[in-house]
Amino acid sequence: MMQSLPTPAVPGWLPWQELVVLAVVLAVLAGVRRFSEARLGDGIRARLILGVPWGTLLTMAGVLAVYLFLQGAWWHPRNPLVTPFRTWSYFYPFGMLTGAFTHGSQGHITGNLMGTLVYGTVAEYVWGHYPRKRGVQTFTSLRTNPFARILVVPVVMFVVGVFSAVFAIGPVVGFSGVVFAMAGFALVTRPTLFLGAFLGNRVLDLLYSALRYPVSTASGQTRFVTPWWSNIAIQGHAIGILAGVVVALALLWYRDERPDTLRVFFATLVFAVAQGLWAVYIPLGGGRFRLFRWVGTALVFVLALVVAAATLESDRGFRPGFDRRPASVAVMLLLVVLGALSLAAVPTNLVDLQEDQLPDEGIEVRDYVVTYDEDVPNAYFENIWLPTQRGGASVNASGVIVASAKREVWIAAVQPGRLAINGEERVTVGGPTWRESVHANRTDWAVLGNDSVYRVQLRRAGGQPRTAYTSDPSTADVILDGRNVTVAARQHGFDVVVTQGNETVGQAPLPANMTRTRIGGLTFERNRSRLYARTDGTRVKVAELRQQAARN
Cα–Cα distance between 522 and 499 in angstroms, integer?
11
The DSSP secondary-structure symbol of 8 reads P
Cα–Cα distance between 91 and 405 in angstroms, integer?
10
Which of residues 77 and 135 earns the better pLDDT score? 77
Closest CA to 314 of 297, 331, 337, 296: 331
Contact between residue 354 and residue 366 where contact means Cβ atoms under 8 Å apart? no
pLDDT in tens, 35-50: 766 555 666 877 888 8
Instruction: Give the 3-state secondary structure of residue 176.
Output: helix
pLDDT in tens, 140-189: 677 778 899 999 999 999 999 999 999 998 899 999 999 999 999 999 99
Helices (H), 128-190: 146-166, 176-189
Cα–Cα distance between 74 and 72 in angstroms, integer?
5
pLDDT in tens, 383-436: 886 655 555 566 788 999 999 999 999 999 999 989 998 999 999 999 999 999
Report pLDDT for 3. Answer: 34
Report pLDDT for 392. Answer: 56
Contact between residue 248 and residue 181 where contact means Cβ atoms under 8 Å apart? no
Report pLDDT for 5. Answer: 34
Which of residues 208 and 176 earns the better pLDDT score? 176
Contacts of 93 (CB under 8 A, 6+ apart): none
Cα–Cα distance between 422 and 291 in angstroms, integer?
27
Report pLDDT for 222. Answer: 64
Report pLDDT for 65. Answer: 97
The pLDDT of 515-529, averaged and rounded, is: 93
Closest CA to 232 of 279, 169, 180: 279
pLDDT in tens, 244-278: 999 999 999 888 888 999 999 999 999 999 988 88
The pLDDT of 220-226, averaged and rounded, is: 66
Give the sign of the dihedral formed by CA 165, CA 171, CA 174, CA 176: negative
Give the sign of the dihedral formed by CA 43, CA 46, CA 51, CA 53: negative
Report pLDDT for 47. Answer: 83
Taking the CB of residue 315, how many other CB atoms lie within 10 A of it?
8
Cα–Cα distance between 369 and 357 in angstroms, integer?
11
Cα–Cα distance between 419 and 542 in angstroms, integer?
23
Contacts of 445 (CB under 8 A, 6+ apart): 452, 453, 454, 487, 494, 510, 531, 543, 544, 545, 546
Share of the chain above pLDDT 70, in %: 87
pLDDT in tens, 274-312: 988 888 887 776 667 888 889 989 999 999 999 999 988
Closest CA to 318 of 244, 238, 240, 248: 248
Report the mean per-residue pLDDT for the chain: 86
Which of residues 38 and 75 earns the better pLDDT score? 75
Cα–Cα distance between 279 and 295 in angstroms, integer?
9
**DSSP string for 247-284:** HHHHHHHHHT----HHHHHHHHHHHHHHTTTT--EEEE
Radius of gyration of the chain (CA): 29
Cα–Cα distance between 427 and 81 in angstroms, integer?
9
Stretch (H or E) spanning 202: helix 191-212
CA 115 to chain centre: 16
Distances (CA, A) of 170 to 80, 95, 182, 397, 529: 20, 11, 22, 16, 43
Report pLDDT for 28. Answer: 83
Instruction: Give the 3-state secondary structure of residue 478.
Output: strand
State which amino acid sits at residue 132.
R
Terminal CA-CA length for the chain: 32
Give the sign of the dihedral formed by CA 343, CA 345, CA 346, CA 348: positive
**pTM for the whole structure:** 0.85
Q: Tell whether the model's pLDDT for residue 207 goes beyond 80.
A: yes
The pLDDT of 98-120, averaged and rounded, is: 94
Opening angle at CA 216, ends 420 and 428, nearest 5: 40
pLDDT in tens, 422-473: 999 999 999 999 999 999 999 999 999 999 999 999 999 888 999 999 999 9
Q: Tell whether the model's pLDDT for residue 242 goes beyond 50.
A: yes
